[in-house]
Structure 1
C-alpha cells in the first residue's frame, strides 16, 4: 500500500480495493457487499463510501440504485491512471500491462528519438543529460531510478519538437515506472544506463538514424526483460502475433 499509505485508513482501503479490482479478485460486474466488506476490513461505511468514490473516478467502480456498488467493465477503466497501472502490476495483470506498454513505446519512441536528433535545443539536451545523470546516481534505489528513467524519456519526447509527441508521456508514464521498478528490483545487476547513453549520444550528435536505432535496441531489451520477469516461462496472454 505504497502510494496511499500516508493518507490513513481511507488511503489503505483505496489501495486494497484497487488491487482487488485490477488484479481480478473482484471481477467485472461483481457487486460489492459494502457492509460485509466493512466488517472484513474493520472500517466504517463512510470510509468505504469515500474509497468507492475515488475508485469510481478512476473508472473501476460504479454505484447505481437497485444494483448497488459494482465493478465496471474493463473497457471503462482509466488505464492511463498511474494508480490503476500500479494496481495492475501488483495484482496479477503484469504480463499484459508490460506487453501493451512495450508495443505502445515501440510505436512512439523511435520516431521521437529521430526527431529529437534533428530538432533538439541546447536546453532540451541539458534536460536529457540531467536525467541520465540522475539515473546514474540512483542505481541502488529502484523507484528513484525508475523516476529518473521516466524523466529521460519525457525529456526525449519533449526534444522531438512535436507538441503531440511530447504529450505522449501521458500514455507511457503510468506503466513505465512500474516496469522499471519490477525489472530493477528483480535484477539489480541489470544496467539500462549504457542503452540510454547510446540514445543520448546519437541525439547529441544529431544522427537521426543512429538515434532511432539506439532507441529500438533499448526498447527491445526493455521489453524482453519485462516479459521474462512478468511471466517467466510463458508468453503473455491474448497475443498471437508475437514479432
Structure 2
C-alpha cells in the first residue's frame, strides 16, 4: 500500500481506496471485496471496515445485503468534501474538473474581495501581508510559492468575516492548489506578486470595486498561465508522437 505521511493504517486505507475510486479503478456499480482489499493493502478486517465506513459517509460507496459493497454513481458523491477534492486534483485532473473549479473561483473570490474591502481588520491585513511577503521570498521554490498563495487566499476569505464564505476555502484551495502545482511545477508562470499586491492595496484602501477588479485580473492571469502550460505540454506530446511516427 502507498504510504501517506502523518496517517495511520486506517487513514492510509481511506486514502488508497478513495484515490482508486476517484481514478476510476473501481467504476460506479462495481463491487468492492473487503477480503481482496485486506490482502492488497496488507491490513486487517477492522481497518478495511472502518475505511469503508468513512468512504460511505463521503457518498462513494454503499453496502446492501446480498449485493455487498458497491461504488455509487458520481451524482451521489460528496464532491465538496475536502478529501474528494484533493483526490480528484492529485491524479491527473480532467479538463472539466479544472474548468468547474475555475468557475467556482470566479463566482466566490470577487464577492469575497468586495466584502473583505469593507470588513477587513488589521489582523486580516497583516495575514495577507505575511502571505504576500512569503510569495515574494519564494522565488523559484514551487512548494513555497504554492503554500504562500494558498495562505493569501485563505486570509482573503477570512477577511469577509462570513463563516459560510470562509468555509469555501476548501473549494478555493483545491482549485488554487491544483492550478499552482501544475503551473509552478512547470516553472512557467507570470510574476503573481504584483497582481496580489494590487488586490491587497485595494482591500487596505477599503475600495470594493478596485478589489473586485484586482481579483478578476488575478484570475485572468491564473487562467492564462494554466492555458500556456497545457498548450506547451500538448505541443510536446504532439512533437514526440510525430517523431515516433517518423522513426523507422
Name the TM tier (shorter chain): 0.7 to 0.9
2:169 counterpart residue number: 169
Aligned to 1:72: 72
Moved more, 222-231 or 98-107: 222-231
Query: Any idea what SS the aligned residue of 2:7 has?
Result: helix
User: 5 Å matches for 1:4-153?
Assistant: 4-153=4-153
Change (3 A) 1:42 1:166: closer
Change in CA separation of 1:227 and 1:25 when aligned onto 2, cut-off 3 Å: farther
In the TM superposition, what whole-angstrom CA distance separates every residue of 1:113-163 from its partner, at most 9, and x where no partner exists?
Answer: 233233423222222212212323344543443233222112222323555
Distance 1:134 1:14 in 2: 33
Q: Name structure 1 gaps, 5 residues minimum.
A: 235-243
Residue 50 and residue 188 in structure 1: after superposition, are their counterparts in 2 closer, same or farther (change >3 A)? farther
- For the residue of structure 1 that corresponds to 2:35, the secondary structure is helix
Contact 2:188 2:225 in 1 (8 A): no
SS of the residue aligned with 2:46? Answer: helix
Measure how far apart 1:227 and its partner are: 4.9
Give TM-score scaled by structure 2 length. 0.79
Quick one: distance in 2 between partners of 1:83 and 1:230?
25
Secondary structure in 1 matching 2:148: helix
Structure 2 segments unaligned to the other structure (5+ residues): 236-248
Deviation of 1:222 (Å): 1.5
Q: Quote the residue 1:240 is aligned against.
A: none
Query: Shift of the alpha carbon at 1:226?
Result: 3.5
CA distance in 2, matches of 1:55, 1:19: 11
Q: 1:46 to 1:20 in 2, by over 3 A?
A: same
The 1:120/1:11 distance shift into structure 2, 3 A limit, reads closer
* Preserved CA contact (<8 Å) 1:124 1:155: yes
Partner of 1:241: none
* Structure 2 counterpart of 1:239: none
Instruction: Give the TM-score normalised by the residue count of structure 1.
Output: 0.81
Task: Considering Cα pairs closer than 8 Å and 6+ residues apart, tell me whether 1 or 2 has the greater RCO.
Answer: 1
Counterparts of 1:144 and 1:157, CA distance in 2: 20
Superposed displacement of residue 87, structure 1: 1.1
Question: How far 1:233 moved relative to its partner?
Answer: 4.2
